[in-house]
């Protein structure tokens, strides 16, 4: 794997430079990964690049170093909580890919969101470093679709972000670790099961009339009456569902969906 000249005065640690370089890769002739993207050259540079741009390796390395220095300045300016060297490298990597974003409280016309508008920065500045690390993966889509390469990069950035700097006190590392919890023990799943049960009982229990009456009172709340009335009309008039069955159907379907969602999270290693 080709990496930039290590002798240059890089503004972030070597781990960060190598991670960005490996994700961007270096091409000395202009290219596009997607039709509507700007022309790119070197280590992911777009400024001043056109379809006929050709660079030398030395120039590509220098542009990369200069761009990282600019982003370091912008990241440090945006951080109200000073990042350690690994946090800084991870935040710079994110900004290098998604942009720094716009300044101020009002979004300028045509401006694009970037690091300044990210949950990553907001949680970092709040001192919620675990939440900031989790939020890296929010930036993994193109045109609304998840891109595997972006997901991989966000995970690498998050891992670097939470890595203690060299020389930090070692963390306690137990050798006996609890097994992963069973989904049946999940409070969310247990609550969902109760919801499903309540929906089933409601479908056959005469007490449904009392529940429905309470619901009708809630339906009259400001801002909810019209949309809920429309939904009720679709279910009753169009689909022919009996009014008394609406609440139990909603409870059962909602509870089953939550259980399915939690199982999917577990299968993907996210819960």
Greatest Cα pair distance, the chain, in angstroms, is: 80
Cα–Cα separations (whole angstroms), residue 151 to 42, 136, 138, 139, 187: 22, 9, 9, 8, 29
Stated pTM of the model: 0.71
Write the pLDDT tens digit of every residue in 182-228.
867 667 666 666 666 666 666 555 545 544 544 554 455 555 566 65
Sorted by where each begins, the domain ranges of the chain are: 14-102+112-162, 183-267
d(CA 202, CA 242): 13
Cα–Cα separations (whole angstroms), residue 199 to 184, 193, 251: 19, 10, 5
Question: Contact, 42 vs 30, CB < 8 A?
Answer: no
Write the pLDDT tens digit of every residue in 122-136.
999 999 999 999 999
Q: What is the mean pLDDT of residues 21-48?
A: 93
Look up the CATH number of domain 14-102+112-162: 1.10.530.40
Burial category of 60 from C-beta neighbours within 10 Å (exposed 0-12, middle 13-18, buried 19 and up): buried
Give phi and psi for 200, each to the nearest 5. Answer: -65, -45
Annotated active-site positions, please? 24
């Amino acid at each position: 794997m080709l990496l930039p000249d290590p002798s240059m005065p890089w503004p972030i640690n070597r781990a960060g430079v190598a991670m960005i370089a490996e994700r961007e890769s270096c091409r000395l002739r202009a290219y596009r990964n997607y039709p509507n993207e700007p022309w790119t050259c070197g280590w992911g540079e777009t400024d001043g690049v056109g379809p006929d741009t050709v660079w030398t390796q030395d120039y590509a390395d220098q542009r990369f170093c200069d761009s990282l220095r600019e982003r370091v300045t912008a990241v440090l300016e945006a951080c109200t909580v000073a990042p350690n060297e690994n946090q800084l490298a991870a935040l710079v990597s994110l900004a290098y890919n998604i942009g720094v974003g716009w300044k101020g409280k009002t979004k300028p016309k045509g401006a694009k969101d970037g690091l300044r508008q990210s949950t990553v920065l907001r949680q970092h500045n709040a001192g919620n470093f675990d939440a900031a690390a989790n939020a890296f993966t929010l930036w993994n889509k193109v045109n609304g679709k998840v891109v595997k390469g972006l997901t991989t990069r966000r995970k690498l950035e998050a891992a670097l972000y939470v890595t203690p700097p060299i020389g930090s006190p070692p963390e306690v590392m137990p050798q006996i670790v609890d097994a992963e919890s069973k989904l049946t023990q999940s409070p969310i799943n247990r609550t969902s099961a109760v919801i499903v049960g309540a929906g089933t009982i409601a479908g056959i229990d005469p007490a449904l009339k009392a529940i429905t009456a309470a619901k009708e009172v809630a339906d009259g709340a400001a801002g909810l009456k019209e949309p809920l009335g429309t939904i009720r009309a679709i279910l009753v008039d169009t689909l022919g569902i009996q009014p008394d069955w609406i609440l139990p159907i909603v409870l059962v379907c909602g509870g089953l969906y939550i259980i399915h969602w939690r199982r999917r999270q577990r299968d993907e290693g996210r819960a």
